[in-house]
Amino acid sequence: MATATATSAATSQYQPQDGRLLDVENLHVHFHTRYGTATVINGVNFTLDQGQTLAILGESGSGKSVTAQAIMGILDMPPAQIPEGVIKYCGQDLLTMPEEQRRKTRGPEVSMIFQDALSSLNPTFPVGWQIAEMFREHRGMNKSDAYAQAVRLMERVSIPAAKQRVKAYPHQFSGGMRQRIMIAMAIALDPAVLIADEPTTALDVTVQAQIMGLLQELQEERQMGLILITHDLGVVADVADRIAVMYAGRIVEQADVFDIYSRPAHPYTKGLLESIPRLDLKGQELAAIGGLPPNLMRIPPGCAFNPRCAMAQDICRTERPHLLEVGPNRSSACHFSKEVLGA
């Protein structure tokens, strides 16, 4: 039986540059449809270091998952198109990398946990077979050794009776257990970067805490860079180092987690925080952001948030604010960030 040491990932040909794993620069993603072109990602910039957790927050449709899919190289093109931008992994641009080389980075170097475990797992194959496939394809293991590693990983993510359940099918597991199977597949080859796309969707609060605790534990073990994509600010409060807030395909605020929660610098971030239920406000009406996110084929001129923003003025409707420094290690794309910080 192969041991964990014998089957650990081979020394990567990529090495972080001064601890930097990922560098996304001016990323644009368009979707061409019969109704027109949707600008889904509109100039996104962020970085990720070893051992760091970056949470990307925003409402549904803000571009969070598409950003992750662009990093992974799994966008369907067409209809998607990446007209400009750079995605550097350890200094190597993934967007210009030959497809065969890109395929070899997908899994062993950069891996992803998808948000719907039931639809992401193949219902016609046992879960152990699906985990073992990672070792067969990328490590050249034989069937028995690959299955042994599948059992080891199922045990690592706390699947009860893993040896007996390795040949069970996805529908025979609960939602929380299926999510653990997805995590086992994602970490199988010891990736340096792990993207978790809504990893706690449709799970109850207790299971959410267990999944987040497991991800944090695995990250500390392996010094992975973790990108956590979610719309739930409560989920990331205890685990994120930095937060990037997305709206209409752009990052509108980026800062350390403490700064975001204590003093948001963008009205959208402020609105998201105020919409979280609080025990000390029991009996009071819950605040909400009025209106709807914009149609990405007809993004409003100026600041895309201006139709929903209580602070909007004439400049907000004509001039798009740039993401500018508003304090140490933090930035905001709002003409009135200083006023928001002082509110």
Mind listing the pLDDT tens digit for each residue in 158-177? 888 889 899 999 998 888 88
From residue 169, alpha-carbon distances to 118, 125, 172 in Å are: 11, 6, 6
Picking from 100, 76, 77, 73, the residue whose alpha carbon sits closest to that of residue 87 is 73
Instruction: Reply yes or no on whether the pLDDT at 9 is more than 50.
Output: no
Burial of 8 (0-12, 13-18, 19+ CB in 10 A): exposed
pLDDT grade, residue 248 (50/70/90)? very high
Mean pLDDT of the 30-36 span: 89
How many Cα atoms occupy the beta-carbon half-sphere of 274 within 13 Å?
16
pLDDT value of residue 106: 86
- Least confident range of 184-188, 233-237, 259-263: 233-237
Q: Which DSSP helix (H) or strand (E) runs through 70?
A: helix 64-72
pLDDT grade, residue 202 (50/70/90)? low
Share of the chain above pLDDT 70, in %: 93
pLDDT value of residue 134: 87
Entry field: residues in the chain: 343
- Least confident range of 108-117, 166-175, 244-253, 329-338: 108-117
How far apart (Å, rounded) are the C-alpha atoms in residues 90 and 248?
28
pTM: 0.86
Encode pLDDT of 268-327 as tens digits.
999 888 887 766 667 677 778 888 888 898 898 999 999 999 888 999 999 999 999 988
Domains of the chain: 20-240 (3.40.50.300), 247-342 (no CATH)
Tokens 């879960």 correspond to what residue?
Answer: 127
Instruction: Reply yes or no on whether the pLDDT at 72 is more than 80.
Output: yes
Q: At a CB cut-off of 8 Å and minimum separation 6, what does 195 contact?
A: 68, 71, 72, 110, 111, 112, 113, 226, 227, 229
pLDDT grade, residue 8 (50/70/90)? very low
Question: Higher pLDDT residue, 13 or 182?
Answer: 182
Tokens 């209106």 correspond to what residue?
Answer: 291
Encode pLDDT of 101-124 as tens digits.
888 888 888 999 887 777 788 899
pLDDT grade, residue 335 (50/70/90)? very high
Mean pLDDT of the 42-54 span: 92
Encode pLDDT of 80-89 as tens digits.
999 999 999 9
pLDDT value of residue 278: 67
